[in-house]
Structure 1
Amino acid sequence: MSRADAARNRELLIDAASAELSEHGLDVSVARIAARAGVAKGTVFNHFSSKEELVSAIFCEQLGALAATGEALLEHPDPRDALLRFVTAGAELQADDRSFCEAAIATSRDHPAIRAASDRLAQVAEKLTSRARQAGAIRADVTGHDIVLLLGAPTRIAAPLAAARPDLWRRYLHLIFDGLRPEAVAHELPVTAPTHRDFTTAATR
């Protein structure tokens, strides 16, 4: 097989696996992914040592795409709107793709590629958050790590009604985001924001 054919097969597998995982979650079989890609099941393992490695590759791509969205939003003239768009993009990804939340829990954050992609996302989130803080658009004690964790909150809150109200998560996203406003009569938060060390410690357990 030529290098071009191998690259094409890998791209087909990534696309097929992304679609299958998005629709059916992490329980989808390798055989089903291969069939959707139009390749033999063995071809999957020629490119990825295990299904877990395939899932990790897709999760890294998802994290990278979200980070790229955030990087583009650093040029947005309104820091608060830029942060809202970033949080919306993250929540929308999780609402549209069943596998993203599952992969976030199931994949090892100690995996080098996932760790690098997660660090990139956290750095982008902090830059967007810092811009909003400096503009006085959000409360001063909100950090980028807070924002990373909040990305999944709207869809988790609305999950029990997702089948009947697939867009309900947007209501909770805006309720959450309004809670970041500095104008609110906010109380001091009872515990400190998570740190990079917290994320690293969680990844190794």
Structure 2
Amino acid sequence: MGTLVAFIYCSAHQMIPVAANDVAFSIHAVLVTSIILLQIAIYERGGQKVSKITIAIVSVVWLFAAVCFFIVLPSRSWLSLISIFNSIQVFMTVIKYIPQVFMNFVRKNTQGFSIGYILLDFCGGVTNLMQMAVQSIDQSSSVNFRGNMGKMLLCLVSITFDIIFMCQHFVLYPHKEPQVSPKSMEESIEAEPLVLSFDSQ
């Protein structure tokens, strides 16, 4: 099947803009996500649970993917199926970012939110676009962009939401340490003796 898909794709785009690092990235994402799901299953979660909306979205997406697979199966139009899966991936990427953006907006702060992950994600998205640009310049072709819309859209979506998160964290809702006034500090010092008396021991 892989050879057939490659042949069809080459017929349409002259080359396959999928590098080894793209495959490695996908494998890495699956492995890391699997580990996180395992941690969710075995570690204490307190009162946290998967929302009904999330369960509904995931169920609908899997059902849609299965229906598309069985529709494509008789004609073996695998390239169309891959394009559909790419669209699903982009859609799910948008969906996964929205709740955190909304939560930050409602709470008006980003306390407890890992900005380090966002910075790394932003760097990954930018370097992905740079890779596609360099390959396009080297090959004198725009096929790396128009022939790999899934990857390009994923990069743009990730970068867009990462910028929103960074604006929320550093500009809109910066974390401020609680300020202690000099007067309250003096009152605290006066209220607590430096040396305990024998009666209090």
TM-score band w.r.t. shorter chain:
under 0.3
The structure with the greater share of residues assigned to helix is 2
TM-score normalised by the chain length of structure 2: 0.27
- Between 1 and 2, higher relative CO (CA 8 Å, sep ≥ 6) is seen in 2
TM-score normalised by the chain length of structure 1: 0.26
